[in-house]
Amino acid sequence: MLEAALIAQVIFWLVVLGVFLASGQASLLHPSTVYLVFHGLVFVVRPLLVHFLDFNSIWTYIGFQPDESAMIKTLAVTSVALAVFVGVNLFAGRVLNVFPPGQPDSLSPLQSKALVITGCLLLPLMAFSIIRTASGHAGGERAANGIYIMTTSTGYINDAQFMVAPLLCAWLLMTRFHWLNALPVTIYVGYRTWCGLSRFTIITFLLAIVMSYCWYHRKKWPPLTAILAAIPVLMLFNTLGHNREYLQNYFKGYGASALQLDAGLSRFEKFRARTDTQDFANYDYLTFILALVPERTHTYTYGVQYLQLFTEPIPRILWRGKPAGAPVETFDISAYGNFIGLTFSLPGDGWCSGGWIGLVITMAIVGGVLGTFHRWFWNHINNPMAAMFYISAMAMILQWYRDGGISISKFIMWNWLPLFIWMGVTWLLGERFLPGNTIILRPGDKLRLIEHKS
């Protein structure tokens, strides 16, 4: 039965992919493109590896061994999630997605000047964030439910460095992707690699660059060079997953010895050791969640996890007793197994909210919101600022699909904040209407407007 379900999972994904491509809406800039890639990796390829190549490191880590019916149920849940999301997303985002002829509007001199000023204003905060993180002053600890909380600093300082990415993308548009921009891009990626933490920022940053390039050059799909460049990026992502301090150790002379950790293993064992990791194992996590909720938890979350949107912005240094995670907790998933560092995924978050009903509602809402955003983008296709807001969000929604919950709001905040500041500085520098003299008219008075021509 399981093998038949795995085959059906592959066929269903291909059918949905075919419908998406035939819809006339498909492009790299569509939210469903990212979700189809995510679903294909974690809910199609990963189950095949788990079953046929005995990828079981996640089961060992959690302390859980599913039976065949649990795995089949996970395949069914993810297929329903895929159908609902793509269907609603296509319906809500339907638009004439045809690039107008010619290049998009370039940044005006006023926008360019405002971008430089914005960068100068934010540079001290971003530099302080980088220095403080690198010096080890951004410490924290794990709460009882496995959530990492900061104890010696605040996220408003530690994460301010993430504003570098959207500013660099805007700079690329302003300079029309001049080849000299390879230097600051390399420096930023090198720093993120050296830091090791928040590996996803490397992928989201480079994906934002590719999307920006496609928008600027009127391409719906990335060039072959960008696809080929994704291979070493994924290899780097996997390497940092095994050793977050890989680059630091390499410069300290430990790189060669680190590469020999798998010495003595067969070729297949080396392959499994490098690929059977937590990077794309949402299928495993979701199988564990579905086995617990609601059979062992005896309840759902009913969406109360989203109340964290109101408590998360309050710095812990101002609220010592701030809950670790959602302020209202109906159950603790970590009480049933080792779930530290693992994620629910968007389908898993929907299931925890209310089973099949919660799954459908969550996927429909997210699909509808992102579809409406997609339609707005194409209706403002020539506006560089609108493009930057949309692209910076699309580049990081992979993390929303992977994590579920409210974590996406924190990433969007740091990617949109410099764009809002840039927009505000542009408004301040530009021409605008200001209140002048006030004239009070009595009832019955008439006002005549006269055009004066010199």
Kindly report whether the peptide bond that precedes residue 294 is cis, defined as omega within 30 degrees of 0. yes
Question: CA 277, CA 272: separation in Å to the nearest integer?
Answer: 9
**Residue 257 above 50 pLDDT?**
no
**Residue 259 above 50 pLDDT?**
no
pLDDT bin (cut points 50, 70, 90) of residue 143 is low
DSSP letter at 142? E
Contact at 8 Å (CB) between 171 and 117?
Answer: no
Closest CA to 214 of 94, 88, 97: 97
Here the tokens at position 259 are 């590469």
Closest CA to 150 of 125, 129, 126, 127: 129
Give the model confidence (pLDDT) of 370-384 as tens digits: 999 999 999 999 999
Q: What's residue 146's pLDDT?
A: 59
**Residue 341 above 50 pLDDT?**
yes
Closest CA to 287 of 354, 365, 347: 347
Contact at 8 Å (CB) between 200 and 399?
Answer: yes
Question: CA 43, CA 378: separation in Å to the nearest integer?
Answer: 30
- 74 Cβ contact partners less than 8 Å away, ≥ 6 residues apart: 43, 47, 283, 286, 287, 290
Rg, the chain, Cα only: 25
- Kindly state the helix (H) or strand (E) to which residue 341 belongs, with its residue range: none
Query: Three-class SS of residue 153?
Result: coil
Give the model confidence (pLDDT) of 102-119 as tens digits: 777 778 899 999 999 999
Cα dist from 334 to 143, 285, 321, 453, whole Å? 11, 12, 21, 76
Closest CA to 360 of 16, 88, 110, 45: 88
Give the model confidence (pLDDT) of 309-321 as tens digits: 888 888 877 787 7
pLDDT bin (cut points 50, 70, 90) of residue 69 is very high
pLDDT bin (cut points 50, 70, 90) of residue 148 is low
Closest CA to 197 of 129, 245, 160: 245
Question: CA 392, CA 356: separation in Å to the nearest integer?
Answer: 31
Looking at per-residue confidence, does 153 or 342 come out higher? 342
Contact at 8 Å (CB) between 32 and 368?
Answer: no
Q: What are the helix and strand counts (H, E) for the chain?
A: 20, 2
Q: What's residue 227's pLDDT?
A: 86
Query: Three-class SS of residue 140?
Result: strand
Q: What's residue 338's pLDDT?
A: 93
Question: CA 442, CA 112: separation in Å to the nearest integer?
Answer: 47
Give the model confidence (pLDDT) of 385-412 as tens digits: 999 999 999 999 999 999 998 989 988 9
| Runs of H (alpha helix) within 218-345 | 224-242, 246-251, 255-258, 267-275, 282-292, 308-311
Distance of CA 385 to the CA centre of its chain: 20
Max mean pLDDT among 24-28, 133-137, 260-264 falls in 24-28
Instruction: Considering only the C-alpha atoms of the chain, give the largest distance between any 2 of them, rounded to a whole number of Å.
Output: 97
Query: Three-class SS of residue 106?
Result: coil
- 42 Cβ contact partners less than 8 Å away, ≥ 6 residues apart: 280, 281, 282, 283, 345, 402
pLDDT bin (cut points 50, 70, 90) of residue 17 is very high
